Amino acid sequence: MIRDDILTLLNNTEDFLSGQEISEKLGVSRTAIWKHINSLKNMGYDIESVNNKGYRLLSSPDLLTADVIKSYLKTGFIKDICYYPKTDSTNIRAKALSAEGKPSGTLVIAEEQTAGKGRRGRVWISPPKESIYMSLLLKPDIDVLNASMLTLIAAMAITKAIKELFPKNKDCCIKWPNDVVVGGKKICGILTEMTTEADYIKDVVIGIGINANTKHFDTEISDIATSLYLSYGTNVNRAELVAIVMHHLGRYYEIYLKTQDMSGLLDEYNSMLVNINREIMIIENNKEWHAKAMGINDRGALIVETSDGTRKEIISGEVSVRGIYGYV
């Protein structure tokens, strides 16, 4: 769409871009450009127009609509974006859209969820606009047993994107298997759900909730949860963050698909792991024991070493892992 293309050009240009340049690049008349710029202004984009200089984008509306996200996207991985001002859960929507025939690479995104789902049947509180609630629909031709690793690559993509947006702050890490943490507190949750038929995968939905511009958490969770705003002291451009996450997810997904495991991503994942080489507490069937985290293996299992030097494999879903002094 011409409007999206204009936005992409403006987003990628610091200075003014003349009507002539835009019209040459997109092959449409200057009058058409002018009309599209006016409709963008009506949508809430602040675009400066100066005679003999052209147009400059000053700010975008803080919305996660398809138009806005597309203007930041630098990947062909995302095939479609379905936006809801309010929905029950983007995971539920993504599964329904999959059944209606939406392709792999469809991104479902909402400003607010009324029935946001967390792991282990918990509720994911999803108030309007301040955070990011999205689900990526994938239809991979992979073995069912390999699908759980998709959650690990999503955690990698989110960590990488946050590091890219806040390069001076180095403390964004992964708490195995897939919580993204900043300063020891959880900033993001991932819920991956799969639909299978016999032993074939119909679809995988990777649901991602990122605490972006949340200004306040209730006391019960403020010890373990934080937001990008609370950690870095500035509002984040949510659409840009979504686009960067999807860019990296697409890259990691491609690498993962070659082997259907973590072998091509092992070193990078381990470099993001918060508790690597640290003592952690493993909670298994109500029993707790301590060991040193050594990093993950090709299957995404966490390798730990006990005090007598024995190495063990910890499988996600069966145990829970904590730092010995707190959440990480």
Residues that bind ligand BTN (CB under 6 A): 89-91, 113, 116-119, 122, 124, 133-135, 189-191, 207-209
Shortest distance (Å) from residue 151 CB to ligand BTN: 10
Q: Can you point out the beta strands (E) in 29-95?
A: 46-50, 54-59, 80-84
Query: Please, which residue, 113 or 159, has the CB nearer to ligand BTN?
Result: 113
Query: Please, which residue, 6 or 156, has the CB nearer to ligand BTN?
Result: 156
Query: Please, which residue, 106 or 113, has the CB nearer to ligand BTN?
Result: 113
**Which CA distances in Å does 312 have to 49, 253, 265?**
63, 27, 21
Query: Please, which residue, 55 or 83, has the CB nearer to ligand BTN?
Result: 83
Neighbours of 290 (CB within 10 A): 12
Q: At 8, list the tokens.
A: 């992409």
Shortest distance (Å) from residue 117 CB to ligand BTN: 4
Shortest distance (Å) from residue 162 CB to ligand BTN: 16
Smallest CA-to-CA distance from 153 within 248, 243, 241, 244 is with: 248
Smallest CA-to-CA distance from 169 within 251, 117, 226, 216 is with: 226
Shortest distance (Å) from residue 74 CB to ligand BTN: 23
Query: Please, which residue, 208 or 249, has the CB nearer to ligand BTN?
Result: 208
Shortest distance (Å) from residue 64 CB to ligand BTN: 12
DSSP states along 242-296: HHHHHHHHHHHHHHHHHHTSSTTTHHHHHHHBTTTTSEEEEEETTEEEEEEEEEE
Shortest distance (Å) from residue 253 CB to ligand BTN: 18
Given a contact cutoff of 8 angstroms between Cβ atoms, the answer to whether 327 and 175 are in contact is: yes
